[in-house]
Structure 1
Amino acid sequence: MKYASAVCAAFTAILLSTTASAQSGTIKSIRLSSGGVAEYVRSLNVGDDGNAVVEVPTDQMDDFLKTLVVSGPASVKGLSTTGPGMIGETFKALPIKPQDLDSAAGVLRALRGAPVSANGVKGRIVGVEPPTEKQRARLIVLLDSGAFDVAEIGGAMTYKLDDPKDAEMVSRAAELLSSDGVQGTRTVTIALDGKASAAVDISYVVAAPLWKPSYRIIVDAKGKARLQAWAVLENASGEDWQGVSVSLTSGRPVTLRQRLYARIWPQRVEVPAAYLDVAGLDVASAKRGMVGGALLNKETAEAPAPVMAAPATTVIAAADEGDVVANFDLPGTYNLKNGETISVPILDHEIGAEFVALYRDGAQHPDAALVLTNDTATSLPPAVAAVYDEKGRYVGDARIGNMKPGGVETATFAADQKIDQEMATTTSSAFRTIVVKDGYLDATLERRMRKTFTAWGADADRKFVAEDAAMAGWELVPSEGVEETPQGARATVVVPAGKKVSTTIEWRMVENETQAIADIDDTVILQWLDESPSPDIAKKLQGLVTARTAQKEAERDLSTVMQAIEDATSESSRISGMLASVGDTPLKQQFLQDLTEQEKSIKTLRAQRDEARVRLEELRKELGEAIARL
């Protein structure tokens, strides 16, 4: 008997029988942060059972569990949702697998042995023949009569699972796959305890695209500018916004991730199974001994260390300055479809602004720049600004850094080719104090670095600004026209038409140095002598140098005499040797005369040596006194 197959229609009905998605309430407000997160506030309906239900995208579950806050008089008993491994754990207990639901043949093959009805014929599923090039897959059914029925799977044939448990199992499998694979969300049930109203507000923080600011700066001729700030934001929440209040925050919040929803299995130490001999005794334990027939050895695994989770004014918007962030509350509410992007004005305010020529390191010409003063009451987030002159003409783009209220920043937007520039650096050093105590010299040295910036060639009076970054250990030397900035220093000077004007930024650094006087080289002392801030110290240092010079000369004189004595003694020994070898000859008298002269010379040199030693000792004493006088 040949059956028309309608199995696909039957299992489509099963898939459509899944539980409807829970209502997620309505989004009331959203606060987008420059840290890449958004705070959502939702209003959820509370059921008669005291539960509120919300659908959460699976990839947001970690953040949802980390940040959920419930508002209202009722207390929270807890929340529940499908675990990350629930799908796999459920299918472990089922004969049917997710891939089996891809086709009718797969379902029937997985339910081998189950009772089934097909167009009035009842029996049990024996198996499914795989398809061939000439025919479809065929179902083999064992009829109640004991006969086999074989029919192709497909067409309009309808099958019915006669055992309600089998039908419920397939329905459950389809429901699990629908909630996991189709929707990509998790249904979270929040259980409330106490006096709960018909609705409750929840808030949570999840990942979101950055909102992006941009500026328009229109400069007038009076040192002011109109600053317009706009915000570009996107609805990437996965659902449409209807009547949603939107706020923007600018700052640098710490935003962390933690795997709270993901399944984490800690690592444990694996201990090998104990070896048992043929008598059934643990050999290792038996060697250690037994008490009352009980083995003393009990293998235990070391407790594993816990595993860390993977890292994890006209104001358009109502702006206010928080402790660590700036807030912009957009007026009204917004309707925005999922995936749409909008740009809205958030600030329109007059600020201080002045065109200047800004020194550019290594370039022939300075940059055209704006010196901006944040006259608003709100920190301005970093962004790109389109700059327009007093006639409304676009002149370039500038990068604006984070500006706190009252802050000043210089922003470049073009090259100023009408002015030439140069910079020269000079350095110097001088001692502030020199103190000698207990044979050590303590010196305080002040180093200075002067950077001179020069500009010329202006066709009209122009302001020339030079900025220099601060260096570790250096401090700014106050001077007219130079101001300290958070980044370093800024010098400002007016360059008249056709004139050449310079301005200087000077830095200083104080160093302390301690050395043993006996170890200091004379050249270093002479350097300190030239830079000494005290005439008295300079005089004493000069006396020290003189004493050390005399001592070194005496040491050289003594060394010369000692070498002469050594040479004379050697010559005397040579003559004595020659005298012994010549015997009683005319040369003997000559050698005797030479030997006598050498002895006289040695005697004289020894006297000079003794005098040099005395002189050296006196000079050493004088050097010690010179050091003591310091």
Structure 2
Amino acid sequence: MTRAILLASTALLMAAPAAFAATGGPAGGQLALTRVLLSTGGVGYFEYEATVSGDADLSLEVRRDQVDDVLKSIVVYDDKGGVGTIALPGAEPLDTAFRELPFSADDLTSPATLLNAMRGAEVTTGGSRQLTGRLMSVTEETVRLPGNDGATTTRHRVTLMTGEGLRQLVLEEADALRFTDPAVQSQIDRALSAVAENARRERRRLTVHSRAPQGQEGGQGAGQAAGERRVRVGFVAEMPLWKATYRLSLGTGPGQNGQADKGSGALQGWAVLENLSGEDWRGVDLTVVSGNPVTLRQALYTPYFVERPEVPVEVLGRVLPSADEGAVTLNDARPAMRSQSEASRAGAPPAAAMAAPPPMPGAPAPAPMGDALAKVAPYGSAAGTPAMAAVRGAEAGAAEGAQVLFHYPQPVSVPNGGTLMMPIAASTLPVERVALYQPAADARHPLASLRLRNDGDTALPPGLLTFYDRGAANSAYVGDARMATLPAGESRLLSFAVDQAVTVDREEKPSRRLSRATIADGVLTLSVTDRQSMTYTVAGAPDADRDVVIEHPRRPGWELAEPAHAKPEATATAYRLPLAVPAGKTVTLTATLERPRQERIVLTDLTADQIAARASAPELPTEVRQALTTLAGLRAAVAEKERRIAELERERAERIADQDRLRENLKALPPGSDLHKRTLAKMAEAENRLDALARDLTTARNEAEAARQTLRERVKALAI
């Protein structure tokens, strides 16, 4: 295929180009942008070069929002000399300028606020009324303007302490007012200059000090010509990520006659990038990198202070001795009492216990600056390209961290704010036409797709792909597709349209298959295989054969059982099952997923009806069904005994309630009456029945326990 040429748009946004200069030494140079490397990580590497001799100061202007990235990543390579320091203004130069002034930046908003801030300073007024004195106050007052409309205005009255006493004047009526002390006037001039300089705070100028090689200074002093050397300055800053786009042109071939096109397609790959660096790129070496690097940010340009605990100043309190109230002489034999403080001093550890803790181990000495730079970004030789900015001379190559580099072989110029399209791929790759059925995309029709294989040596980054069908006379647009990263030697299915000529129906049939049943220690263990079968019925196109690829969903814990002898491709979410569909024919494919599992059932926890239901399952072995039927009878006998116990307990509770009612009635009846006698007889009858119920309950409980014991022993003895 004809090699694609470089296309560039020339839209230029309003942005001032960066200024670069190098000074210092008889042979000066100028920093120039020579290399740009853009990464899909959202950053770009910019490298500048200058030819210098002797000690050199190289200046570089960057945008304020880039300073953090520059401080994090700036690197200096000097072929023969050494790296000195890198200086730049502070993050808040305006605050620094006003830190030692008697007024703030807000005080410069109006003359009145400035004069109030400078109270006590000596001023002199000009005009017809000249006064010299020290500022006492500036007060605001509202006065009515002449006329009947009631309009007012605001003015400021200045009060001065002069040699004749207090004098006042209206600030708005004074012709001139100046500070008599030149030092005060100089402070105001510096403050105004700082405010003007702060208007350019969107940019910062860095100064890189490059030292001459050892012994070169002496040569310069003797008038000898100093040797020239190259200095490179590079840094990483935020940039828009570049985007990859592709065009795939398919020629006429067997695909037009209804056969699967297993030919090839002409692929063009383009990188779309923007220059938003703040300066024009003029003849730079351009490389784009595809990958997923770790890119970090840190606010290195912001001052941070460590919070320290505040210790109060110890002030000795006033001593107030108490009044003496006399003393009593104690018996000499009685042990003298010691104060608590004396006792604590007597039991205190020796002075060694109060010694200071051992000093903390000293931090290791920092590595020399030269060694640190060599470890961060080594380069092979004095004239070679530094490793940090190394790129392949070919169009594509591999980089560290599974990244792919695409280097344009010619210098590139892009204005600030402009957009560029750079070719990154131009090759012929094998393609195959397929119909990809994805139920989530379209439940009734497959997607017209191409299987694209990357048989090159370099991976292709992700991007959109536009299809063209190239005929003998002209080309036609077919559709678009999304292409994920395509490593070398792998293939991707790219869907670009819905194939309305092919129809797919689905029918799902879940089932369950028992493969083994055992009984041991009273537990019924069932080895079950769950099955999910999906039958796909595909009606082919009337005029052409189709190679259909069906994506059958994968499920965690399930395995593909049918098709039995197939070894399909599998994605993270689906199996890809191939199916050849002749023209005008209907073909079916059944995909079955299986999941083996075990059910553990404690037989003693089941009721008689539950055990009987299990015993009626036809898939169980005969021996297991017979054992479960026997256990169901035993469990029913236990249930019958328990039901008998419940009936007796219910009747006993009713008899006790009747007795309590009769006792209450007996209290209200006259002793010896007929009703009193009948009540006593009923109570005696109830007592006899309660005694009989107690005996029946004891018998029923014993029988129930015997039935339970029989059930437990039978369950424990089962081993099938």
Indicate the TM-score class for this superposition, using the shorter chain for normalisation.
Answer: 0.5 to 0.7
SS at match of 1:189: strand
Tell me, yes or no, if structure 1 residue 186 matches structure 2 residue 207. no
Which letter does structure 2 place at the counterpart of 1:471? R
Match of 1:7 in 2: none
Tell me, yes or no, if structure 1 residue 252 matches structure 2 residue 252. no
Tell me if structure 1 keeps the 8 A contact 2:615–2:629: no
**TM-score, normalised by the number of residues in structure 1:** 0.68
Tell me, yes or no, if structure 1 residue 428 matches structure 2 residue 519. no
CA separation in 2, counterparts of 1:256 and 1:569? 82
- Which of the numbers 434, 437, 440 marks the counterpart of 1:359? 437
Note closer, same or farther for the CA distance 1:508–1:252 as it changes in structure 2 (3 Å cut).
farther
Match of 1:492 in 2: 578
Deviation track 1:56-86 (CA, whole Å, cap 9, x = no partner) reads: 3221111112122222355545433222133
Note closer, same or farther for the CA distance 1:617–1:472 as it changes in structure 2 (3 Å cut).
closer
Note closer, same or farther for the CA distance 1:41–1:431 as it changes in structure 2 (3 Å cut).
farther
Tell me, yes or no, if structure 1 residue 35 matches structure 2 residue 113. no
Alignment of 1:161-172 (within 5 A): none
How far off its partner does 1:364 sit? Answer: 2.9
Note closer, same or farther for the CA distance 1:245–1:528 as it changes in structure 2 (3 Å cut).
farther
How far off its partner does 1:442 sit? Answer: 5.2
Which letter does structure 1 place at the counterpart of 2:236? V
How far off its partner does 1:427 sit? Answer: 2.3
Which letter does structure 2 place at the counterpart of 1:185? R
Tell me if structure 1 keeps the 8 A contact 2:20–2:59: no
CA separation in 1, counterparts of 2:318 and 2:287? 78
Tell me if structure 1 keeps the 8 A contact 2:48–2:234: yes
How far off its partner does 1:483 sit? Answer: 2.2
| Higher mean C-alpha displacement, 190-199 vs 251-260 | 190-199
- Which of the numbers 39, 44, 56 marks the counterpart of 2:62? 56
Q: Which structure would you say has the larger RCO, counting Cα contacts within 8 Å and 6 or more residues apart? A: 2
Alignment of 1:14-163 (within 5 A): 25-44=31-50, 48-49=54-55, 51-72=57-78, 74-94=81-101
Tell me, yes or no, if structure 1 residue 463 matches structure 2 residue 547. yes
Tell me if structure 1 keeps the 8 A contact 2:521–2:716: no
Match of 1:295 in 2: none
| Higher mean C-alpha displacement, 561-570 vs 216-225 | 561-570
Tell me if structure 1 keeps the 8 A contact 2:525–2:599: yes
How far off its partner does 1:480 sit? Answer: 2.9
CA separation in 2, counterparts of 1:512 and 1:406? 43
SS at match of 2:714: helix
Alignment of 1:428-577 (within 5 A): 428-431=511-514, 438-440=521-523, 443-459=526-542, 460-477=544-561, 479-480=565-566, 482-519=568-605, 522=611, 525-526=614-615, 530=619, 538-556=621-639, 558=641
**TM-score, normalised by the number of residues in structure 2:** 0.60
Tell me if structure 2 keeps the 8 A contact 1:213–1:229: yes
- Which of the numbers 412, 415, 438 marks the counterpart of 2:495? 412
CA separation in 1, counterparts of 2:115 and 2:546? 88
Note closer, same or farther for the CA distance 1:125–1:418 as it changes in structure 2 (3 Å cut).
farther
Alignment of 1:157-306 (within 5 A): 173=191, 176-177=194-195, 180-182=198-200, 184-192=202-210, 195=213, 198-220=229-251, 221=253, 222-223=261-262, 224-265=264-305
SS at match of 1:393: strand
SS at match of 2:38: strand
Tell me if structure 1 keeps the 8 A contact 2:59–2:206: yes
Deviation track 1:103-136 (CA, whole Å, cap 9, x = no partner) reads: 9999999999799999xxx999999999x999xx
Tell me if structure 2 keeps the 8 A contact 1:561–1:609: no
SS at match of 1:264: coil
SS at match of 2:619: helix
SS at match of 1:522: helix
CA separation in 2, counterparts of 1:568 and 1:241? 104
Match of 2:451 in 1: 371
How far off its partner does 1:32 sit? Answer: 0.6
Note closer, same or farther for the CA distance 1:436–1:61 as it changes in structure 2 (3 Å cut).
farther
How far off its partner does 1:202 sit? Answer: 2.5
How far off its partner does 1:172 sit? Answer: 5.1
Aligned length: 534
How far off its partner does 1:27 sit? Answer: 1.6
| Higher mean C-alpha displacement, 325-334 vs 469-478 | 469-478
Tell me if structure 2 keeps the 8 A contact 1:41–1:201: yes
| Higher mean C-alpha displacement, 177-186 vs 382-391 | 177-186
How far off its partner does 1:230 sit? Answer: 0.7
Note closer, same or farther for the CA distance 1:407–1:523 as it changes in structure 2 (3 Å cut).
farther
- Which of the numbers 391, 397, 414 marks the counterpart of 1:336? 414
Long gaps (5+) in structure 1: 1-19, 282-287, 292-314, 532-537, 571-580, 582-594
Which letter does structure 2 place at the counterpart of 1:411? L
Match of 1:8 in 2: none
Which letter does structure 2 place at the counterpart of 1:32? L
- Which of the numbers 418, 428, 442 marks the counterpart of 1:350? 428
Match of 1:587 in 2: none
Query: What percent identity do the matched residue pairs reach?
Result: 29
Which letter does structure 1 place at the counterpart of 2:491? V
Tell me if structure 2 keeps the 8 A contact 1:214–1:230: yes
Tell me, yes or no, if structure 1 residue 395 matches structure 2 residue 473. no
Note closer, same or farther for the CA distance 1:234–1:611 as it changes in structure 2 (3 Å cut).
closer
Note closer, same or farther for the CA distance 1:175–1:503 as it changes in structure 2 (3 Å cut).
farther
CA separation in 2, counterparts of 1:76 and 1:516? 80
Long gaps (5+) in structure 2: 1-18, 23-29, 147-154, 215-227, 254-260, 321-339, 345-392, 654-673, 675-687
Note closer, same or farther for the CA distance 1:567–1:262 as it changes in structure 2 (3 Å cut).
closer
SS at match of 2:713: helix
Tell me if structure 2 keeps the 8 A contact 1:547–1:622: no
Note closer, same or farther for the CA distance 1:530–1:158 as it changes in structure 2 (3 Å cut).
same
Note closer, same or farther for the CA distance 1:60–1:426 as it changes in structure 2 (3 Å cut).
same
Deviation track 1:557-580 (CA, whole Å, cap 9, x = no partner) reads: 54677789999999xxxxxxxxxx
Which letter does structure 1 place at the counterpart of 2:611? D
How far off its partner does 1:461 sit? Answer: 0.9
Tell me if structure 2 keeps the 8 A contact 1:180–1:186: no
Tell me if structure 1 keeps the 8 A contact 2:638–2:707: no
Note closer, same or farther for the CA distance 1:330–1:432 as it changes in structure 2 (3 Å cut).
farther
SS at match of 1:466: strand
Deviation track 1:335-354 (CA, whole Å, cap 9, x = no partner) reads: 11111111121101222323
CA separation in 2, counterparts of 1:25 and 1:161? 46
Note closer, same or farther for the CA distance 1:198–1:481 as it changes in structure 2 (3 Å cut).
closer
Note closer, same or farther for the CA distance 1:466–1:185 as it changes in structure 2 (3 Å cut).
same
CA separation in 1, counterparts of 2:400 and 2:612? 60
